[in-house]
Structure 1
Amino acid sequence: MRAPEGPLDTRTLRGQALLLFFSYTHCPDVCPSHLRNGALAFGHLTPAEQARVRLILVTVDPGRDTPARMKDYAAFVSPALTGLTGTPAEIAAVAKSYDAAYLRQEPRADGSYDVGHTERIYVVAPDGRLAAVLGRGATEAQILAAARKVL
C-alpha cells in the first residue's frame, strides 16, 4: 500500500491501534459521515491515547484515488487520517484479509461511476488482531469506546 509519503505496510504499525476504513474519495453515501465520526472520536482521545491510535482509509477506487488525492481528502477529513492507495491487487489482498468487499459499478453515460463497498470500521488492536467490527451508522461514542477498549 502507498501513503502520500511513500509505501506503508500496516504491520509496521504494530503497537498502535488502528481504526481502518475501506472507502473512496468519491463516495456519495455513508462514508463521509462514517469517516467524520471516526475523526470526531479520535479527537476525544487524550493526547497519550491519540499517540497510540491511527485512522487509516484504504481506497477501493485506485483508478481515481491517487496518493495526492488521498492526501488532500484525508487532510480535509482529519489531520489524523492517513489515506492509502495501491495497485488493484494490493487493495484486493488487504480487503480480503478483513473480509471487506467492494465492486466497481458500471459507468454512467457521463463516465462517472460508484464503487459499492462494505461500510464498516475495523478496529485493530495494537497486537495486530481484529478486535471489533463496527457497522454502518456507528456513532462517535461507539467508535471512541471501541478504540479505548483496545488501548
Structure 2
Amino acid sequence: MRCQKRFFAAASAALAVTLLSGCGSSEPSFHAKDISGLMPELSYSLTNSKGEPASASDYEGQVRAMFFGFTNCPDVCPTTMAELNKAVKAMPDDKQDDMTVLFVSVDPERDTPEKLAQYTNFFGDRIVGMTGPEASLRDLAKRYRTTFGYGEPNEEGNYDVSHSGAIYVFDEQGKARLLMRSDLTPEQMAADFEALMTEAG
C-alpha cells in the first residue's frame, strides 16, 4: 500500500511537470535575452538624418532595433551595423519592410544629419540615423539603463566615445522585448525579429 502511494505521488509529480512544460511550449523561444516588462516602451524626441524631428511614432507598427553609437567608431559600430543589415537581409522580402534599425549617434558634435545619412545609407536602406542635443541623448540612454562618455581630444581635436554595444529590440507596439549582444549571428537575430512579427500577427 505504501509503495502504491509512492507510485501515485511520483506519477502525479511527473504529470505536473509534463503539463507545465506543455503550457510553456507555445511561448516564443528567443536567442536574445527577453526583457519584456523590464524596460519602458520606445520613446524619443531627436533629429533624423534629414534634419527633421524624429519620434517613435515614425515607425509605429514595425519591429525596431535601437543601437547607440557614433560614425567615427572604429570597430563596434560598423561591425554591429553590418551584422544588423545581414540580419534584415536574411528575412523574407515581405518581412523586411516591417523592420527598422535605429542608429542613435551619441556624438552630436561631429555627426551632422548629412554625415549620419552617408553612414547609415552605406550599411543598408532599413537603417535610420538620428541624434540630438547631448541632454536629450543622456535622457534616452538613462531610460534604457545605459550610458556613454567622451574621451580627451587629441592634438587634431579627435576624441573617442565610449558606449554600450547592446541592441534594444522593440515589438510592433513599441514595447521593449529583447536585448541583443554581439555573440548572436545575423541568422539568430533575423529569427528573433521574425518571431516578434509572427507573435503580433
Q: TM-score range by the shorter chain?
A: over 0.9
Q: Deviation string for 1:64-87 (max 9, x for gaps)?
A: 001110001001111221100111
Name which of structure 1's ranges 78-87 and 2-11 shifts more when overlaid on structure 2.
2-11
- Partner AA of 2:98 in structure 1: R
**Mapped contact 1:17–1:125 kept (Cα < 8 A):** yes
CA distance in 2, matches of 1:114, 1:83: 19
One-letter code of the match for 2:49?
P
More helix by share: 2
Residue 117 of structure 1 corresponds to: 163
Change (3 A) 1:69 1:105: same
Contact 2:106 / 2:148 at 8 angstroms: preserved in 1?
yes
Residue 49 (structure 2) pairs with residue 4 (structure 1): yes
Which whole-Å deviations, capped at 9, do the CAs of 1:61-115 have from their partners, x for residues lacking one? 0100011100010011112211001111221222222222111111123321110
Partner of 2:27: none
- What code does the residue aligned with 1:92 have? R
SS across alignment from 1:137: coil
Residue 46 of structure 1: aligned partner:
92
1:13-42 alpha-carbon deviations (Å, 9 max, x no partner) = 221110111110000122211110000110
CA contact (8 A) 1:62 1:88 kept: yes
1:147 aligns with 2:183: no
Q: Is the contact made by 2:149 and 2:163 (CA closer than 8 Å) also made in structure 1?
A: yes
Which deviates more from structure 2 when the two are superposed, residues 119-128 or residues 97-106? 97-106
Identity of aligned residues (%): 30
User: What's the counterpart of residue 136 of structure 1?
Assistant: 182
| Worse-matched range after superposition: 97-106 or 56-65 | 97-106
Distance 1:125 1:138, change over 3 A: same
Q: Which amino acid aligns with 1:111?
A: G
Give the AA of the match of 2:72: H
- TM-score, normalised to structure 1's length? 0.93
With normalisation by structure 2, the TM-score equals 0.71
Alpha-carbon distance between aligned partners in 1 of 2:153 and 2:119, rounded to the nearest angstrom: 23
Match of 1:33 in 2: 79
SS in 2 for 1:57: strand
Extract unaligned runs of 5+ from structure 1: none
Give the number of the structure whose alpha-carbon radius of gyration is greater: 2
> Distance between the aligned counterparts of 2:186 and 2:88, measured in 1?
9
In structure 2, runs of 5+ residues without a counterpart are: 1-45
Q: CA RMSD in A?
A: 1.3
CA distance in 1, matches of 2:87, 2:69: 18
SS of 1:8's partner is strand
Q: For residue 146 of structure 1, what is the amino acid of its counterpart?
A: D
Bigger mean CA deviation after superposition, 46-55 or 35-44:
46-55
Q: Which amino acid aligns with 2:85?
A: A
Answer with 21-30 or 104-113: which moved more: 104-113
